[in-house]
Structures are given as structure tokens and as C-alpha cells.
Amino acid sequence: MTMTLAQLLAPMSVEQFFAEHHDKSPLHLKGDAGKFAAVLSWRQINRLLDMTHAWSSHSLQMVLDGKPIPPEQYCIRATGRDANTQLMQPVSARVREWVAKGASIVMNDVDSLTPGLASVSSAIEGAGLGKAQANVYISWQSHKAFHAHYDTHEVWAVQVEGEKYWNIWEGRAEWPISHPVFRSQTQEQHEQAKGKLRAKILMKPGDLLYLPRGWYHDALAEAPASVHVAYGAHAPNGMDLMTILAERALYEVSFRQALPRQDGTSAARFALTQRAGQLGLRIAELCKDPKVMEVLERFVADYRFQRGGNDLMAWRGLAPPSVDTEDSSGDASTFRIVAGGAKPVRRGAEWVLKTPSGTLSLTPAEAEAAQWLLARPDITEAELQKAHPQAGAPALLAKLRDAALLVAT
């Protein structure tokens, strides 16, 4: 499943977004209920949570009315998946008790866990907007999970289930970054800095909310249950250039030499000022060095997470490459092909397929589609429909399933 920035923003054009909103002002874009249906569903949430050993008190957090629930109150001590590490692991019976009290669940770093979740990340990253990391927020009526705050990255929130009110404040911190300077601010400071209420918006399934970096906001679940996925887009910034320059400066004698010794005299202070000036000039020169610029350009262009891309059977040449479709969300049933080597053959004007229970007759379009799908390890209805629209995917799948050539998983 893939998505582009144009699809994420539709019906607004990408050009209008960059002209009016990107890094400038919040955007609430209404969408039809189906727009993000393939991104995440309750069934998938439960499936993900059931992957018990995949979670820890860091990746799965619980919050009640703005206060994080201590890990020992919803987790047990367990052995992690990596080399005997000990960690706190959420346990469903305790999570359930807290959910009954209205606690919100936050699932962190989920952007590669399903094709649906990954589709929005790749839309953001594909447009050069930085590394897109996603968290899922599940909350219940009138329980506020977080007080007014800003994030140190752009926020792209997509509403997948239920409804949620967001308060968007007038205040904006000036391009904060993830550093203690910004993280150490108190809630009182935030309450002062958030300013007046700019808008109160109701996010419904299919809606998108974009917030520039540093924009003050908070959210409150409205429907009995609300789920949104917040993608944080972390763009490269000037501090990254400083890091590249620091690496480059290692090769310059002038940066390795000791700074002038200070003995309290004005001559010593003058020497230090002179040296700082010289080094500053050298940094300015390095910023024009084509090699430094080449490194910087590559750094910015490649600034995205690596995720996905696996296709084992195809890599071994044992199956054609997997088909990427609009709807391989994982919610649709997948059919495993269990008839190794079965192939439709022509008998006069008819096409037939030998099955364990007898012979199946097929139309020419069905025969072509059957040949295509039987060569694969598994298939969804949507994939078959896309590849062979004439074959009548539901009926053909039912026929092959009845004949025990496929098994629904």
C-alpha cells in the first residue's frame, strides 16, 4: 500500500499546501470516512497489541487525565526479545483495568508495523519533509491525555476512528528542537506561552490535521472512543550542518591547535578573539566548499527512515515480485495458495483446472487470472481485482477455495 503527499492532502493541492501552510500555519483538512480507513483499524490495533513481546513500557504507554501511569501498574517484569534484556512488558489484564478507568493508550514508533501505517510515513518522507515517526493515540470520551504543549517536529495527525476535539492555540515556540533547553519548560510556562485559543476543531474519521513545528495544541476525545495516528516529521536543520562542519573541521590543523592560553591580560584576550575570528572565517569558507555541500546535500536528500522492502520468495526467484496495491492493509483476507504446481489447461474451447476433488472449468479470463495467482504464495482479493479486473475476483476466489486450492488466512 502506498500513498503520496498529493493523496494525503487531497482535495487540497500540494502547491497550495506549501504556499499557505507548510511551516507557516495549521491546517485542518476534512476527508471522507474512508480516506484513512486502510491506515489503521480496531482489528489491527488489537492484533498489534496481541504481539505481546513486541511491546515495553516505553513503546506502549498509558496516560490518565494528563498523568502517565507508572509502568509497574500495567506491566510485568519480563525478558526482552534481545539477548536476555529485562524490561517492563504490558500485560492485558492490567491494561484492561486502566482502560476501564478511562486511561489513554499511546503506541509509540509504529510507522513500519503495518503497510497502512507505513503508507502515510512514506507519503511524508517521499515529499522530502524529513523522517516520519508515528505514534497511535487511543482515548475515551472526555479524558484528556495531554495538557497544552508543542512538539519539536511537525505534526501530521490522521483520525482513523471516532472523534476528537483539538484546541489549537495562537502561540508558537520558535522552531524548538529535541534538546533539554526546550524539554525542561514547566507546564506553567507552556500555559502562558500558548496564548489565546485560535481554533477548536473536531477531527472526524478521514480528517487530517497539520501543525507546524512548535505550535501549541491539546486534544480531547469526543466520541466514546477515538483513535488518531500522529506522524512526527523531523526535518534536518542547521544543527545538522554544525555536526557536519565539526566532522570536517577535524581535518583542519587550525581547529586542532590549542586556543591561546588565558592569563587575565588584555593581550591574551585579544589573541583569543583574533583566533575565534579566524576560525569563524574558516567555517564560512568550509560552508562554500563543494565537498562539504555535497555531503550536506546527500544528508538532506537521504533524511528518511529505512523501512520495508522485503520480498523473500521473489529474491530467491521462487515467485514473481509481490504486488503493491492500494488496499493491502492487512485487514482484507489473505488467501494462501496451497495447490503447488496447479495450472489451468485448455481442452478444446474450454479451460480446466485439475484439483484434488476433480476438474474445475473456467472462463478464459478466470483461467488467465488463476494462472497468475497460483504462481504466488498468497494473494488478497484487492490484488487479484487490480491485476485481473475481468476475472470476477470474489467468485473466482470462492471457486478456488471450494476446490481446496486456496485457504483464507
The footprint of Fe ion (CB under 5 A) covers 151
**CB closer to Fe ion, 111 vs 151:** 151
User: Which one, 151 or 207, has the nearer CB to Fe ion?
Assistant: 151
* Contact in structure between 285 and 111 (CB atoms under 8 Å): no
Task: Tell me whether residue 117 or residue 373 sits nearer to Fe ion (CB atom).
Answer: 117
Q: Write down the least CB distance from residue 146 to Fe ion, Å.
A: 6
As measured in angstroms, the least distance from the Cβ of 210 to Fe ion is: 12
Sequence-distant (6+) residues with CB within 8 A of 321 are 311, 314
Is the CB of 147 or the CB of 343 nearer to Fe ion? 147
Residue nearest Fe ion (C-beta atom): 151
Are the C-beta atoms of 138 and 105 separated by less than 8 Å?
A: yes
In angstroms, what is the minimal distance from the CB of 198 to Fe ion? 15
Q: What is the DSSP letter of 57?
A: T
Least distance to Fe ion, CB of residue 149, Å: 6
How many Å apart are CA 215 and CA 220, to the nearest integer?
17
Between CA 385 and CA 383 the distance in angstroms is 5
E-strand ranges in 173-237 read 197-203, 208-211, 215-221, 225-234
Are 396 and 349 spatial neighbours (Cβ–Cβ below 8 Å)?
no
Q: Which CB, 140 or 150, lies closer to Fe ion?
A: 150
Question: Closest by alpha carbon to 215, among 241, 176, 183?
Answer: 176
Name the residue nearer to Fe ion (CB basis): 157 or 396.
157
**Nearer to Fe ion by C-beta: 125 or 151?**
151
CB of residue 151 to Fe ion, shortest distance in Å: 4
CB of 173 to Fe ion, least distance (A): 12
Cell 502515510 sits on residue: 120
Q: To the nearest whole angstrom, how small is the minimum distance from the Cβ of residue 75 to Fe ion?
A: 24
183, with CB counted inside 10 A (0-12, 13-18, 19+), is: exposed
- Identify any residues that bridge with 136 across adjacent strands, giving them in sequence order: 107, 229
Q: How far is the CB of 129 from Fe ion (least distance, A)?
A: 17
How are strands ordered across the β-sheet holding 131-140? 27-29, 208-211, 154-161, 225-234, 131-140, 104-107, 60-64, 67-68
